[in-house]
């Protein structure tokens, strides 16, 4: 006959095996959920690119002629065009499309009724941890704020805005100095003027300023904090766009890339040098941010993995 002690130990062993098995099953499910979410999101956004994004054909060289034709201003176009009518039929919240050549970033941008829904919903409204690139609800889709803010997850498969952190690497800015932002009405070039690590409550998320002087101080502060000198000047006459994603250096950390918003019709001086030779980037020391009193505050959301 088994002693009470043997029975107790056997029962304890069964319980421990059950716990370990439960933990294993839960971990396996979490891994499946994570990677299946990555797969579904990648499939979804690849499909959107295939259906609604067209690559612009290369310009046809001008044939040789005996007489020089009258000089005309160079006309620049974005490398892609977007079928916004089709996107609007799928999601009325469509605001624009963010694109950076030779990177994973080519996504629709939405603006929802709040800053929560698109954290974990895809462009078509499906529940998915990759979410959608979205504009802060306080911003206007016509980019009329001093600072328009876009949020995107930092996904481990390099999806969404994960590649923003590549701007920490010396040389990456030289290869990718500009973004494009396309809307139904206008195409914009977004030359980068600053990039740095910050917190979720940073003053970088202020979106409007009461005076030109306040806005100028804000821009000077943001430029001074940049990891690299990009050579792009910004003034109180400019509007800017802040691209934000999570970082994991400390709790509630963010990595942000700040861009000047320039209509493509006015961007010849930016695009021509960028096409010929990327601007040289030099390392600068990071300086603490000034406190500014812009209208609004940092978006109180967690854009997590």
In a domain, 176, yes or no: yes
For 182-214, write each residue's pLDDT tens digit: 999 999 999 999 999 999 999 999 999 999 999
In a domain, 138, yes or no: yes
Query: How many domains does the structure of the chain reveal?
Result: 1
Residue 275: the pLDDT is: 57
In a domain, 295, yes or no: no
Phi/psi-derived region of residue 156, left when phi > 0, alpha when psi is between -120 and 50, beta in every other case: alpha
Query: Distance from CA of residue 115 to its chain's centroid?
Result: 15
φ/ψ (deg, to 5) at 255: -115, 130
- Tokens, residue 238: 């400019």
In a domain, 126, yes or no: yes
Q: What is the pTM of this model?
A: 0.78
Q: How confident is the model at residue 274 (pLDDT cuts 50, 70, 90)?
A: low
3-state secondary structure 130-166: CCCEEECCCCCCCCCCCEEEEECCECCCCCECHHHHH
Do 226 and 240 touch, CB atoms closer than 8 A? no
Element (H, E) at 26: helix 4-52
In a domain, 145, yes or no: yes
Do 240 and 261 touch, CB atoms closer than 8 A? yes
Query: Which residues span the domain enclosing 214?
Result: 39-55+76-283
User: What burial class does residue 6 get, using C-beta atoms within 10 Å of its C-beta: 0-12 exposed, 13-18 middle, 19+ buried?
Assistant: exposed
Q: By C-alpha distance, which of 173, 140, 267, 289 is closest to 221?
A: 289
Residue 13: the pLDDT is: 65
For tokens 């934000």, what's the residue?
244
CATH code for the domain in which residue 153 is found: 2.40.260.10
Q: By C-alpha distance, which of 130, 127, 88 is closest to 111?
A: 88
For 100-152, write each residue's pLDDT tens digit: 999 999 999 999 999 999 999 999 999 999 999 999 999 999 999 999 999 99
In a domain, 292, yes or no: no
In a domain, 46, yes or no: yes
The DSSP string of 193-248 is EEEEEEETT-GGG--B-SSHHHHHHHHHHHHHT-SEE------TT--EEEEEEE--
Distances (CA, A) of 127 to 33, 41, 92: 12, 10, 18
- Tokens, residue 70: 């009258």
Minimum mean pLDDT among 102-106, 201-205, 273-277, 279-283: which range?
Answer: 279-283
């Amino acid at each position: 006959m088994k002693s009470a002690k043997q029975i107790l130990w056997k029962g304890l062993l069964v319980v421990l095996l059950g716990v370990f098995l439960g933990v294993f099953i839960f971990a396996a499910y979490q891994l499946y959920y994570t990677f299946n979410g990555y797969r579904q999101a990648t499939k979804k956004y690849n499909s959107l690119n295939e259906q609604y994004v067209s690559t612009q054909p290369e310009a046809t060289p001008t044939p040789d002629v005996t007489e020089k034709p009258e000089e005309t201003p160079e006309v620049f176009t974005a490398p892609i065009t977007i079928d916004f009518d089709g996107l609007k039929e799928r999601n009325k919240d469509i605001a624009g499309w963010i694109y950076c050549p030779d990177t994973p970033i080519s996504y629709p941008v939405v603006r929802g009724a709040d800053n929560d829904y698109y954290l974990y919903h895809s462009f078509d409204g499906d529940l998915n941890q990759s979410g959608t690139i979205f504009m802060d609800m306080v911003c206007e889709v016509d980019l009329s704020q001093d600072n328009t803010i876009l949020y995107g997850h930092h996904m481990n498969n390099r999806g969404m805005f994960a590649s923003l952190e590549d701007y920490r690497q010396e040389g990456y800015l030289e290869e990718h100095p500009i973004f494009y932002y396309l809307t139904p009405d206008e195409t914009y070039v977004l030359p980068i003027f600053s990039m740095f690590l910050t917190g979720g409550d940073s003053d970088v998320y202020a979106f409007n300023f009461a005076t030109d002087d306040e806005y100028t101080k804000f821009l000077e502060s943001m430029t001074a904090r940049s990891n690299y000198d990009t050579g792009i000047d910004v003034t109180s006459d400019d509007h800017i766009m802040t691209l934000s994603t999570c970082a994991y250096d400390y709790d509630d950390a963010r990595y942000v890339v700040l861009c000047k918003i320039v209509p493509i019709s006015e961007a010849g001086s930016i695009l021509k040098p960028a096409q010929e030779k990327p601007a040289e980037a030099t390392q600068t020391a990071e300086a603490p941010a000034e406190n500014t009193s812009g209208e609004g505050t940092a978006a109180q959301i967690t854009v997590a993995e």
